A and B are shown apart, each in its own frame.
Chain A
């Protein structure tokens, strides 16, 4: 099965490169990958890179919010980068903009 997420670790930062469509079906699989790597690596920063994401509904918002909560519990920060315009539109309906995590 195609990779849904590529995770790299460098200088205390876990970068998760997400791919394709993020919906309710796919989100738990992405969540599992990211959570397990963060739990073992305990990074200062978790960066979610959206440049290769082609679709996202509010399940993606839930995914990001869950990661925000979890990384904070591990003592780290969250950053969401390279958000394509249509996906920005979905994020704008959430409170994530106000949390300063959307770059």
Chain B
């Protein structure tokens, strides 16, 4: 499996950047000619992961969110969303549907959406160091233009 294309972004953990992250990933995978549903799935999953960073990673300051996307020659899209924030104490609990540590109107469904809309979701985290969420989704019939 070879990497055909890659991009890296970093931006402040401000909620206004959620739309930017979605648009950036959408534009990046568009050459794969995804179906409307595949595009929507990836955009929504990315939105959830980025929102988690913005809501949870840096409670007392504005930090940086790092987004890295790769496309392989088999049409697999791999998006890594990373932060250097507080980290998750109990990953299993955090990934339980409806679980949230937020006091706002948060549904606690971020991970449930990511898992439902992507083929694979991996979470690595260390308290005080940060969190990395990796999303994988294969586009069904990739017509990737390598030019």
Chain A interface residues toward B at CB < 8 A: 21, 23-25, 27-28, 31, 55-59, 61-63, 65-66, 86, 89-90, 93-94
A93-B97 in contact given A23-B19, A23-B51 (Cβ < 8 Å): yes
A60 to chain B, nearest CB (A): 9
Contact of A57 with B116 in the complex, beta carbons under 8 Å: no
Contact of B97 with A24 in the complex, beta carbons under 8 Å: no
Chain B residues positioned under 8 Å from A59 (CB to CB): 51, 106-107
Does B105 touch A at the CB level, under 8 Å? yes
Chain B interface residues toward A at CB < 8 A: 15-16, 18-19, 22, 36-37, 40-41, 43-44, 47-48, 51, 54-55, 97, 104-110, 112-113, 116-117
Contact of A65 with B105 in the complex, beta carbons under 8 Å: yes
A25-B19 in contact given A57-B44, A90-B44 (Cβ < 8 Å): yes
Contact of A57 with B51 in the complex, beta carbons under 8 Å: yes
Contact of A58 with B15 in the complex, beta carbons under 8 Å: no
A93-B113 in contact given A59-B51, A63-B105 (Cβ < 8 Å): yes
A89 to chain B, nearest CB (A): 8
Contact of A24 with B112 in the complex, beta carbons under 8 Å: no
Bound-complex Cα distance A18 to B104 (A): 20
Contact of B107 with A25 in the complex, beta carbons under 8 Å: no
**When the two chains form the complex, which single residue of A57, A62, A89, A94 contacts B47, counting CB atoms closer than 8 Å?**
A57
Contact of A62 with B106 in the complex, beta carbons under 8 Å: yes
Contact of A58 with B48 in the complex, beta carbons under 8 Å: yes
**Besides A58-B110, A89-B41, 9 new A-B residue pairs in contact (Cβ under 8 A), listed by A number:** A23-B47, A55-B40, A55-B47, A57-B113, A61-B109, A65-B107, A89-B116, A93-B97, A93-B112
Contact of A58 with B107 in the complex, beta carbons under 8 Å: yes
Chain A residues positioned under 8 Å from B22 (CB to CB): 21, 23, 55
